[in-house]
């Protein structure tokens, strides 16, 4: 099936290598076999291979005669892939190769991720390293590990592992677009201690739920203005609190630091006489949210169910500390870029809230393509946490890749694209992570970097597919670009 799918496709060697690596399971943190394949293949080409402790591989290809003094170019790809499949599909990502077929202008897998992110990059780099006809300066082919679940390879590159001062990252997903920046990020966790007190008298326990939100990726989708379930729950609780003698028992919401929370739950206790008032306040909130988020989250629901006996509730001081903190925490876009149209420069996501015996913990995540702005928004979040008596735990985070619109490589890249395709490429940056900023940071900075790739639709999902014609255009562009910087 794979053989048939790539029959007659160009560039022939790129598709050949894509077929080869697709047969090797290579989910994140399981790259050993594919790295062995890359090392063996490069050695068979007579090229020098180095591997570091975490597994990253660099293949050095000497310059063509007469081009020895050109700047060394690093061509960078990641070797792992996201492993997702449709529920009904039988596939063991640790044992089975990826099966794919042709669908019009696309190559698509059989109900699993395809791994064209970044398998086309890996295949293209192998093909370029093999090509003896290409005239070029010194090349370092950098194959990293575990980009998708921790940026582990990039985070462990040692200074000196690569020496080139120009880098082309082959891991973006829109042919005809040159990427020149991405966001850095970090998580800030706030732990708010709470005191509990038994609630006496005739009471009603109510379980509140926020449902029906779209959520999304906290980098790629943050500018869409979708509702945050934790924020809506907080507003609902504050509304009920203003009309009843509400006690808060717990609040939960969200599941991942890099996702906008879609669902949230809370348990409250109100005097039996206030039960109807609480229900009415929740119903009013639902109407308010339906109106405010009519186009982004039309299905939003605020549900109230009768609960059973609850644990002792937070005392009033703890309740207000938690609700005020959640209410004051910023969420969403903080600033748009002034250099690149439509690019979110800085954002923050109120991602996860959990209640435990010790108190309430809130995980938030900040992103910015400008390092100092990332620190600024993280400190803003930390201040809110501290004002509520919380303890702050920041994560290490990773550096962004600040767009440099004056980059020499960008200028060259635009010229080459125009001479090949007769039109200017688009220049963009993304508000999510790429390895470029981290690698640059690890090797001491000063690497003029650009990222481009073929057109991949639906990456990270079983819908992933790569546009066949874009692979040919991308590879042609890559080789011309490499030639032109020599
Ligand atoms: Zn990728």
Q: Is-contact 168 480, C-beta < 8 A? A: no
Identical fold between 2-183+401-485 and 185-394? no
CA of 121 to the centre of ligand 1 (A): 9
Q: Is-contact 212 301, C-beta < 8 A? A: yes
Q: What sign has the CA pseudo-torsion 412, 413, 418, 421?
A: positive
Model confidence pLDDT, tens digit, residues 88-135:
899 999 999 999 999 999 999 999 999 999 999 999 999 999 999 999
Model confidence pLDDT, tens digit, residues 360-409:
999 999 999 999 999 999 999 999 999 999 999 999 888 999 899 999 99
**Strands ordered across the beta sheet of 177-182:** 48-51, 57-61, 139-144, 73-78, 166-169, 448-451, 177-182, 426-430
Q: What is the pLDDT of residue 453?
A: 98
CA of 77 to the centre of ligand 1 (A): 8
Q: What is the pLDDT of residue 339?
A: 85
Strand spans (E) along 172-273: 177-182, 184-193, 196-197, 203-211, 247-253, 264-271
Nearest one of 256, 189, 153 to 396, comparing CA atoms: 189
Q: What is the pLDDT of residue 256?
A: 83
Domain boundaries defined on the chain: 2-183+401-485, 185-394
Q: What positions carry a catalytic annotation?
A: 80, 147
CA of 148 to the centre of ligand 1 (A): 7
Q: What is the pLDDT of residue 216?
A: 86
Which class is domain 2-183+401-485?
A: alpha beta
CA of 363 to the centre of ligand 1 (A): 25
Burial class of residue 456 in the structure, from the number of CB atoms within 10 Å of its CB (0-12 exposed, 13-18 middle, 19+ buried): buried
CA of 393 to the centre of ligand 1 (A): 29
DSSP structure string for 201-227:
SSEEEEEEEEE-----BTTTSGGG---
pTM: 0.82
Q: Is-contact 13 89, C-beta < 8 A? A: no
CA of 78 to the centre of ligand 1 (A): 7
Q: Which fold has domain 185-394?
A: Alpha-Beta Plaits (3.30.70)
CA of 112 to the centre of ligand 1 (A): 16
Give, in order, the Cα–Cα distances in Å from 447 to each of 153, 344, 413, 438, 440: 18, 24, 15, 11, 6
Give, in order, the Cα–Cα distances in Å from 148 to each of 29, 144, 330: 9, 11, 27
Q: What is the pLDDT of residue 340?
A: 86
CA of 117 to the centre of ligand 1 (A): 5
CA of 404 to the centre of ligand 1 (A): 22
**What's the half-sphere exposure (Cβ side, CA atoms, 13 Å) at 104?**
2
CA of 206 to the centre of ligand 1 (A): 44
Q: What is the pLDDT of residue 270?
A: 97
CA of 458 to the centre of ligand 1 (A): 12
Average pLDDT by consecutive 10-residue portion of the chain (486 residues)? 95 98 97 98 98 98 97 98 90 97 97 96 98 97 94 95 97 96 95 95 96 90 95 98 97 90 96 97 98 97 93 96 98 94 95 96 96 96 98 91 93 98 94 91 95 94 94 98 96
């Amino acid at each position: 099936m794979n053989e048939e799918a790539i029959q007659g496709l160009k560039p022939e060697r790129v598709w050949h290598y894509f077929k080869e690596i697709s047969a090797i399971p290579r989910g994140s943190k399981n790259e050993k076999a594919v790295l062995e394949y890359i090392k063996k293949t490069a050695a068979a080409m007579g090229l020098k291979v180095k591997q570091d402790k975490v597994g990253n591989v660099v293949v050095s290809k000497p310059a063509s005669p007469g081009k020895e003094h050109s700047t060394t170019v690093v061509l960078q790809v990641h070797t792992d892939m996201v492993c997702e499949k449709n529920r009904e599909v039988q596939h063991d990502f640790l044992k089975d190769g990826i099966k794919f077929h042709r669908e019009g202008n696309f190559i698509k897998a059989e109900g699993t991720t395809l791994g064209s992110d970044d398998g086309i990059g890996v295949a293209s780099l192998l093909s370029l390293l093999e090509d003896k006809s290409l005239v070029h300066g010194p090349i370092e082919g950098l194959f990293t590990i575990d980009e998708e679940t921790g940026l582990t390879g990039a985070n462990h590159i040692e200074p000196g592992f690569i020496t080139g001062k120009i880098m082309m990252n082959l891991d973006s997903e829109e042919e005809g677009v040159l990427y020149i920046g991405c966001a850095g990020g970090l998580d800030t966790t706030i732990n708010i201690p709470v005191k509990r007190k038994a609630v006496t008298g005739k009471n009603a326990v109510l379980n509140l739920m926020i449902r029906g939100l779209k959520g999304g990726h906290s980098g790629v989708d943050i500018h869409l203005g979708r509702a945050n379930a934790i924020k809506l729950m907080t507003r609902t609780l504050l509304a009920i609190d203003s009309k009843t003698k509400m006690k808060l028992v717990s609040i939960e919401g969200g599941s991942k630091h890099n996702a906008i929370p879609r669902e949230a739950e809370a348990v409250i206790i109100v005097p039996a006489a206030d039960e109807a008032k609480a229900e009415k306040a929740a119903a009013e909130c639902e109407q308010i949210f339906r109106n405010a988020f009519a186009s982004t989250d039309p299905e939003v629901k605020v549900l109230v169910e009768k609960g059973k006996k609850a644990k002792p509730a937070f005392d009033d001081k703890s309740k207000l500390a938690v609700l005020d903190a959640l209410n004051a925490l910023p969420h969403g876009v903080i600033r748009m870029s002034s250099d690149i149209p439509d690019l979110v420069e800085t954002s923050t996501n109120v991602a996860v809230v959990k209640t435990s015996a010790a108190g309430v913990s809130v995980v938030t995540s900040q992103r910015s393509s400008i390092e100092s702005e990332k620190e600024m928004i993280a400190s803003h979040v930390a201040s809110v946490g501290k004002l509520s008596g919380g303890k702050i735990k920041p994560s290490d985070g990773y550096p962004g890749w600040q767009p440099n619109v004056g980059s020499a490589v960008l200028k060259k890249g635009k010229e080459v694209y125009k001479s090949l395709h007769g039109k200017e490429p688009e220049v963009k940056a993304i508000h999510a992570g790429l390895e470029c900023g981290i690698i640059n940071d690890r090797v001491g900075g000063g690497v003029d970097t650009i990222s481009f790739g073929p057109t991949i639709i639906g990456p990270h999902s079983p819908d992933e597919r790569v546009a066949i014609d874009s692979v040919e255009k991308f590879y042609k562009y890559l080789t011309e670009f490499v030639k032109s910087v020599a």
